[in-house]
Chains A and B, each alone.
Chain A
Amino acid sequence: MSWFKRIKEGITTSTKEKKETPEGLWYKCPSCKKISPTNEHAQNKYVCLNEECHYHEKIGSAEYFEILFDNNEFIELNDNLTAGDPLEFVDTKKYTDRLVDTAKKTNLKDALRTGHGKVEGEDLVIACMDFSFIGGSMGSVVGEKIARACDYCIENRIPLMIISKSGGARMMEAAFSLMQMAKTAAKLSLMSEAKVPYISFLTDPTTGGVTASYAMLGDLNIAEPQALIGFAGPRVVKETIGKDLPKGFQTSEFVLEHGFLDKIINRKELKAKLAQLLRMFKN
Chain B
Amino acid sequence: MNYLEFEKPIEELQTQLEKIQEAAAKSGMDVSKITSEMEEKIKEARTKIYGNLTPWQRVQVSRHPDRPYTLAYIDYITEGTFMELHGDRTVKDDKAMVGGFGSIDGKTVMFIGQQKGINTKMRQIRNFGMPNPEGYRKALRLMKLAEKFNKPIVTLIDTPGAFPGLEAEERGQGEAIARNLLEMSQLKVPVICIVIGEGASGGALGIGIGDKVLMLENTWYSVISPESCSSILWRNWNNKERAAEALKLTPNDMLGNKLIDGIVPEPIGGAHTNHEETFKIVKDVILKNLAQLEKLDPKKRVAQRIDKFCAMGVVNEEEL
Contacts and interface: CB of A to CB of B under 8 A. Distances in A.
A212 B174 contact: yes
A84 B312 CA distance: 13
Interface extent on A, as a size class? 35 or more
A275 interface: no
B179 A241 contact: no
A81 B316 contact: yes
A268 B314 CA distance: 37
A231 B310 contact: no
Contacts, number: 192
Interface string B196-209: 00000110011011
Nearest to A236: B164
A193 B299 CA distance: 13
A213 B169 contact: no
17 contacts: A81-B315, A81-B318, A86-B257, A173-B223, A174-B223, A181-B205, A182-B209, A183-B310, A185-B181, A186-B306, A212-B162, A231-B164, A231-B168, A232-B164, A232-B165, A241-B166, A246-B166
Contacts of B125: none
Interface of A: 80-87, 89-92, 139-141, 143-144, 147, 169, 171, 173-183, 185-190, 192-193, 208-209, 211-217, 230-232, 236-237, 240-241, 245-246, 249-250, 258-260
Contacts of A143: 312-313
Nearest to A84: B314
A188 B312 contact: no
B249 A186 contact: no
Interface of B: 162-166, 168-175, 177-179, 181-183, 185-186, 201-202, 205-206, 208-209, 221-224, 229, 232-234, 246-249, 254, 257, 259, 305-306, 309-310, 312-320
A192 B246 CA distance: 37
Contacts of B232: 171
B223 A175 contact: yes
A258 B171 contact: yes
Given A171-B229, A183-B313, A193 B259 contact: no
Nearest to B319: A80
Contacts of A175: 221-223, 247-249, 254, 257, 259
Contacts of A183: 309-310, 312-313
Given A173-B314, A176-B314, A186-B306, 16 more contacts: A80-B320, A81-B318, A84-B316, A143-B312, A143-B313, A169-B223, A174-B247, A176-B313, A182-B181, A182-B208, A183-B313, A213-B202, A217-B182, A231-B173, A231-B174, A237-B166
A231 B202 contact: yes
B177 A231 contact: yes
The 6 closest A-B pairs by CB, nearest first: A232-B164, A140-B313, A211-B174, A185-B181, A231-B174, A84-B314
Nearest to B254: A175
A39 to B, nearest CB: 35
B162 A231 contact: yes
Given A175-B254, A182-B181, A237-B164, A189 B186 contact: yes
